Amino acid sequence: MDTLQNMRVFVRVVEAGSFTGAAQHLNTTTAYASRAVSDLEAHLRTRLLNRTTRRIALTEAGERYLQRCEQILAYVDQAEAEASDAHARPSGKLKVHAMTSFGQHYVVPAVSRYQQRYPDVHIELTLAQRLPDLLDEGFDVALTLATGLPDSGLVSQRLGSAFSIACASPAYLERHGVPQTPADLVRHTCLQMVTPVFPTDKWTFDGPNGEETIALGPTTFQVNVAEAMAVAVCSGMGVGLIPIYSAISGLRSGELVWLLPEYTSQEMNLYALYPSRQYLDAKIRTWVEFLRDELPATLAVDQAELRKFART
């Protein structure tokens, strides 16, 4: 028995004053309306309506039950309206996860611009160097950098790509000289970024001669956040591979020097991940669409600016 539907029929019968009037309003038959109320009474083991051939009248129990039905149906209608509105209008809390350094440089400014357009969305951003379990941890969207994605069942949107460059400080280069080829780096102090994607014992470069790999010796320093690596390199501790979004500020200030400007390393794709494409909440849909429109252009601007810092 569909109790909720039978409650709707019962309320409509009372409002119409007859089974026939209710049936016409609900676009059904009088027999169906009568049976729905009878099934409800049987389920409750209580008479709700007194019936004659000419009229119906609520019993005392029917009057109390009618009030509860009206309240329940109002809550149901409100819940359905809110759920439907969520599909149509961006609002409410949006839980976003992003990689730490990338999130600081690109996602936080994107949040500001997105909320100017959709002020009813409250974004809760978590930055961490890992890919979360979206379903278990309750995230709506995760932004991750990876060379590829495993088959996880999540929906993915590629938003662009980023890469790392070899950098050192002017003071370090004055003491140790400037490497001219990737092979020269084996004679330098190479600081290591610890990531789940790339090995720490070798660096691979893409350049004019294709792919070149160098083996690294023991390191004096390793870290798992690009911002910390940039600070270490600026301090003159050695040569480091730094993602361009973490290196660009130091290049502008002169604290960093781009080495081997014909070479890039550790290229990764940026993906937006979310649980489902079906009945997508408006705040998720508009956030992903916004990033798809905004981030490639932002990444391209930084990559274009990077050419100004090529050491000649």
299 occurs within a structural domain: no
What does the pLDDT read at residue 82?
65
- DSSP β-bridge partners for residue 157: 272
Are residues 197 and 239 part of one domain?
yes
Q: Which of 60, 88, 116 is the last residue of a domain?
A: 88
Same domain, 149 and 273: yes
Judge whether 220 and 189 are in contact, CB under 8 Å. Answer: yes
User: Domain range for residue 140?
Assistant: 93-154+269-294
Sign of CA dihedral 126, 130, 134, 137: negative
Please report which helix (H) or strand (E) contains residue 8, including its range: helix 3-16
Shared domain for 66 and 104, answered yes or no, is: no
In this structure, the answer to whether residues 185 and 240 fall within a common structural domain is yes
As a residue count, the chain comes to 312
Instruction: Give first-to-last CA distance, the chain, whole Å.
Output: 80
The per-residue pLDDT for range 243-275, each reduced to its tens digit, is 999 999 999 999 999 999 999 999 989 999 998
Whether 134 is covered by a domain: the verdict is: yes
> Cβ(119)–Cβ(149) under 8 Å?
no
Residue 246: left if φ>0, alpha if ψ -120 to 50, beta else—which one? alpha
50 and 140 in one domain? no
With respect to residue 195, please indicate whether it lies within any of the assigned structural domains: yes
d(CA 128, CA 152): 20
Are residue 168 and residue 253 in the same domain, yes or no? yes
Tell me: do 166 and 192 sit in the same domain. Answer: yes
CA 311 – CA 206 distance, rounded (Å):
17
Q: Is residue 261 in a domain?
A: yes
Q: Domain count of the chain?
A: 3
Phi first, then psi: what are they for 300, rounded to 5°? -65, -35
In a domain, 111, yes or no: yes
Question: Which residues neighbour 161 within 8 Å (Cβ) at sequence distance 6 or greater?
Answer: 267, 268, 269, 270, 299
C-alpha radius of gyration, the chain, whole number: 32
- The enclosing domain of 32 has a CATH number of 1.10.10.10
Is 144 found in the same domain as 118?
Answer: yes
CATH number at residue 231: 3.40.190.290
**Looking at 34, 66, 88, which one is the last position of a domain?**
88
Residues of the chain with pLDDT under 70: 1, 53, 81-88, 150-151, 277-279, 311-312
228 and 245: one domain? yes
If asked whether residues 274 and 192 sit together in one domain, one would say no
Q: How many CB atoms lie within 10 A of CB 147?
A: 11
270 alpha-carbon distance from chain centroid? 12
Q: Which of 64, 88, 112 is the last residue of a domain?
A: 88
Same domain, 172 and 239: yes
The tokens describing 144, both together, are 């991750």
DSSP tag of 47: -
- Same domain? For 261 and 185 the reply is yes
pLDDT of residue 175: 94
Q: What is the CATH number of the domain that holds 131?
A: 3.40.190.10
What sign does the dihedral 265-303-102-294 (CA atoms) show?
negative
Distance CA 242, CA 251 (A): 11
Q: Is residue 173 part of a domain?
A: yes
Helix axes 30-44, 19-26, angle to 10 degrees: 110
To which H or E segment does residue 260 belong?
none
Query: CA-to-CA distance for 56 and 37, rounded, in angstroms?
Result: 12
CB 232 within 8 A of CB 191: yes
- Tokens 């730094």 — which residue? 242
